[in-house]
Amino acid sequence: MGVEWLLVCHGLVTALVIVSFLCGRWPIFEGTFIQRIHHFLTFGAYDYFLRFVGAVFGSKCTDAVLSLEYYCCDRPNPLLQIIYTVIIGVTYYFIVKSCFAYIPGYYLSGIHRYTSFLAVAVGILLFLLTSFSDPGTVSTENVSQYLSAYPYDNIIYAEKECTTCKIPKPARSKHCSICNRCVARFDHHCGWMNNCIGEKNTRYFMAFLLWHFLMCLYGTIAIGLVLAGRLKELKVIDILTVYYGIENSFMDLAPNVVQWLLGSYNTQILLMVFLAIVAMLLAGFFGYHAKLCLSNTTTNEVSMWITDLQVARLYGLAKKVKRSKGQC
């Protein structure tokens, strides 16, 4: 029993860390402990680590860590692309190793051995397509086309030149400091793709998110059906009913069934929990981007507006302070 609870706690803590790290800045978590964990994971822990390195190994080591950080976060690099490949490869390997022995099973036909492979292959294809496609690089040759496609509104976007590329900056474009190029209808620089997401590859990016969400959902349901099939095939409910002498009602037997599953199929359960968490995160991320696409907005513009809003709020606050001082 102790091991099972340890496993459950491990799963919950992992889920909390993943959710805090990826979604801690979402407005719904503002002021909650999830936001604080996110802050610790993204700033606090790193700051303590730098101080620790400086105190123990000296400033040369701190510089080395900082230059490594510069390479990993501020320069194009395939680090996250490799991590994505490892995650998808290792997860699929464990699914094959732990579940394929039970496919075909009571609820799943043999075709799922092939459809699961096809799902992963399409996922990787969409990943490659988003990673290596042109996001809409603005160059001297195509800048006039982009200027006419995205005219200035003189409210948010006024006529401007990119100081680095030395070419006019079409409205809604942005210079990506990591890739060192101007990108039309810039959304964001995606570390996982090692590429900008812009005018030309947003559709692949959206397809990537939707496909991976569906894939994780498919995995969660399929593993669930494998386990349900094992329960049925091994007549676990019947055995437990006789063993515990409880009425054959699923609700009464549920704790015993869960305990039996955690003891006998913990790899499959961990995979299922992992896929379910990733599916939820992807659903949130896809939903957010779909909302932006439907309102013809980009992540970059939202962050610009948030900054404007903050400036406006501060301005309002300053006026209030002035007024109250005047009253005094």
- Active site residue ranges: 190
For the chain, what percentages of helix, strand and coil (3-state, to nearest 5) are there?
70, 5, 25
CB of 134 to Zn ion, least distance (A): 12
Residues that bind Zn ion (CB under 5 A): 162, 164-165, 175-176, 178-179, 182, 189, 196
CB of 193 to Zn ion, least distance (A): 9
Of residues 168, 165, 158, the one with CA closest to residue 180: 165
For Zn ion, give the closer residue by CB, 35 or 195.
195
CB of 196 to Zn ion, least distance (A): 4
User: What SS3 state is found at 174?
Assistant: strand
For Zn ion, give the closer residue by CB, 19 or 138.
138
At 240, which amino acid appears? L
Structure tokens at 77: 């690099």
Spell out the SS3 assignment of 257-284: HHHHHHHHCHHHHHHHHHHHHHHHHHHH
CB of 205 to Zn ion, least distance (A): 13
Which backbone phi and psi does 42 adopt, to 5 degrees? -90, -30
User: What SS3 state is found at 197?
Assistant: strand
At 5, which amino acid appears? W
Packed helices 250-264 and 266-294: angle between N→C axes, nearest 10 degrees: 100
For Zn ion, give the closer residue by CB, 147 or 176.
176
Structure tokens at 327: 């009253």
- Give CA angle at 64 (58, 68), nearest 5°: 150
d(CA 278, CA 281): 5
User: What SS3 state is found at 172?
Assistant: coil
At 271, which amino acid appears? L
| Beta bridge mates, 25 | none
CB of 189 to Zn ion, least distance (A): 4
Packed helices 202-233 and 79-99: angle between N→C axes, nearest 10 degrees: 20
CB of 170 to Zn ion, least distance (A): 11
